[in-house]
Amino acid sequence: MPNKRFPTTRQSAVEALKSSDKDGRTRAYHTILDCYWKPAYKYIRVRWQESPEDAEDLTQGFFAVAFEKRYLERYDPSQARFSAFLRVCIDRYIANQHKYATRHKRSGATKDVPLDFELAESEICLYPISQELTMEEFFDREWVRSLVTLAVASLEHECKERGRTVHLFLFRRYDLEDASEADAVTYNTLADETGLTPTTVTNYLASIRRDFRRILLSHLREMTATDSEYRQEARRLFGIEI
């Protein structure tokens, strides 16, 4: 079994969808579900103007059908980015649901997976779509938000396992928390709060940012099919050269 203590370099879940091993495909499916269910729900709510209840059913139904019918295995990285391919699949699924006035019932592929739709709904209000943003850009924004959230959760787990709670506190305070210009957090204020020197704060933040970058890229690797796509997405989304 893999060592669950620390996140290791992840393989492509997108490619694993094509595995002949059913268990491997199931693990890959749940990895993709973890990252994409929330962007899919928000996209269905905003793009298709569905009610929260219908959007929940459609989100669950889409991923159930995609897994059962193995639709996502048709992805060709030479034709599009995986996120773009998935969004087109969602559009086709919703259009068919409207055309035939049906709803795909939840199946074993999704019914046992806890999805926090209330949180997703609150985020639609918290991060509204602007008039300048296209639906494609909105979907991209939300799946990147989901990817970063997963990376932060992995970072938190790793820091707790390694006893790096102070590093995590500094990262959250300086890099993740919102602060007004009048109440901006500085290295000096963090030094006062933690009893560290400003130099130590600087070093701790540099260290945990490297950890976060590593973890974020490992999650991104799961969501891409090839090394070329992985490098392109790292550059496009985060300005990182691999």
pLDDT confidence band for 206 (50 / 70 / 90):
very high
Nearest CA to 43 out of 105, 3, 89 is that of: 89
Gap between the Cα atoms of 20 and 142, Å rounded:
31
Which residue has better confidence, 1 or 183? Answer: 183
Q: Average pLDDT of 7-17?
A: 79
Q: Provide DSSP, 131-195.
A: TT--HHHHHHHHHHHHHHHHHHHHHHHHHHHHT-HHHHHHHIIIIIS---GGG---HHHHHHHHT
Q: Find the helix or strand (DSSP H, E) in which 124 lies.
A: helix 117-126
Burial call 106-127: b when 16+ CB within 10 Å, e when fewer: beebbeeeebebeebbebbeee
Percent of the chain whose pLDDT exceeds 90: 82
Q: Is the pLDDT at 87 greater than 90, yes or no?
A: yes
Mean pLDDT, the chain, as a whole number? 90
Q: Is the pLDDT at 4 greater than 70, yes or no?
A: no
pLDDT confidence band for 110 (50 / 70 / 90):
low
CB atoms within 10 A of CB 90: 23
Q: Is the pLDDT at 177 greater than 70, yes or no?
A: yes
**Coil, strand, or helix at residue 231?**
helix
Question: What angle do the packed helices 117-126 and 52-68 form, to 10 degrees?
Answer: 120
Q: Is the pLDDT at 106 greater than 60, yes or no?
A: no
Q: Is the pLDDT at 28 greater than 60, yes or no?
A: yes
Gap between the Cα atoms of 61 and 104, Å rounded:
5
pLDDT tens digits for range 61-83: 999 999 999 999 999 999 999 99
Which residue has better confidence, 4 or 113? Answer: 113
Q: Is the pLDDT at 197 greater than 50, yes or no?
A: yes
Radius of gyration of the chain (CA): 20
